[in-house]
Amino acid sequence: MASHRRPKQPSRTRVTVLTATAAAAVALTAQTAQADPKPSKSEVKAKVDKLYEEAEHATEQYNGAKEKQDKLDDQIDALQDKVARGQEELNTLRDSLGSVASAQYRSGGIDPSVQLFLSGDPDTYLEKASALDQLGAKQTEAIQEIQAKQRTLAQQRQEAQGKLKDLAETREELGAKKKEVQSKLAAAQKLLNTLTAAERAALAADESRANRASARADLGNAVPASQRAAAAFSAAQSKIGSPYVYGASGPSSFDCSGLTSWAYAQAGVSIPRTSQAQASAGTRISSQSQLQQGDLVFFYGDLHHVGFYAGNGQVLHAPKPGASVRYESINNMPYMFGVRV
């Protein structure tokens, strides 16, 4: 017979425990919300500046990979031209060898002793024999030249294959660094989007003030390090107000090393594209007191930022996104050393 017992009701004690647990969960959630407040404008700016710094580091690596790619492209083109010319020369040598072999066949198709026996003019025979010997020497020489050309072509083809492999790896690295830069910039923009319109306007106003202050920078009685340093610094000065753009090297926008390499190019001096490579482009200067106008100055432990020393404790550089080429205090960043090109 089926049982018709009534369902057991939860005890008063159990209800009390469940209610207390739910209340604790609500309280914990509230505490968590209170412990993670919306970051302030200054906190957001600090995080954004850090992301920009990381993006600049990745950009210098991107610039290095791009420079390597361009060099490899040129080297591969030159090697492929050499291979094409070498193949044409090899074909010409083979045709020449074929002509020598045909002449040798026509002159030496009969045994020399029989030729001498049949010859009515021994002097004519000896002349022909001498010509035959010369043809044989030419044939040997041609074969040796062909073999040497084949070895050279094989080496050049192998070198070209190696360069093509390097190029493929460099292009892969280039793509990865580009994605890293874009990721850092996107994260920075996401942070900026958490600010109110008024807070974003305040940050923009700060940058505008910094740009205006640059126009009033006091460079003191700075003396250029050299004539070429003076020319490079003057070229960089002509770009004050140009926007910072990652990977740009002029003439209308720049990143940090793009500005310095472009400016020195205007002075007729070729220096490497990246800040790390530019650090070895001249004589190192450790003390700030020894810096002269036009010297390159490097910042951060990994040397991912570079600018020009302008004089009186000021640097001229392309700072970061949202900023333009301008003067700033050398103490705004961790100074490492200078380089006189």
Q: Which of 4, 57, 256, 304 is catalytic?
A: 256
Specify whether the CB–CB gap between 312 and 261 falls below 8 A: no
| Rounded Cα gap, residues 32 and 185, in angstroms | 29
Q: Which tokens sit at 74? A: 């040129």
Nearest to 61 by CA among 326, 275, 282: 275
Helix, strand counts (H, E) of the chain: 8, 6
Where do we find the tokens 């003057």? 234
57 flagged as catalytic: no
CA angle 156, 160, 166 (to 5 degrees): 145
Specify whether the CB–CB gap between 222 and 293 falls below 8 A: yes
| Rounded Cα gap, residues 246 and 316, in angstroms | 17
3-state SS of 2-49 is CCCCCCCCCCHHHHHHHHHHHHHHHHHHHHHHHHCCCCCHHHHHHHHH
304 flagged as catalytic: no
| Rounded Cα gap, residues 181 and 146, in angstroms | 52
**Residues linked to residue 293 through DSSP beta bridges, in sequence order:** 224
Residues classed as catalytic: 256, 305, 317
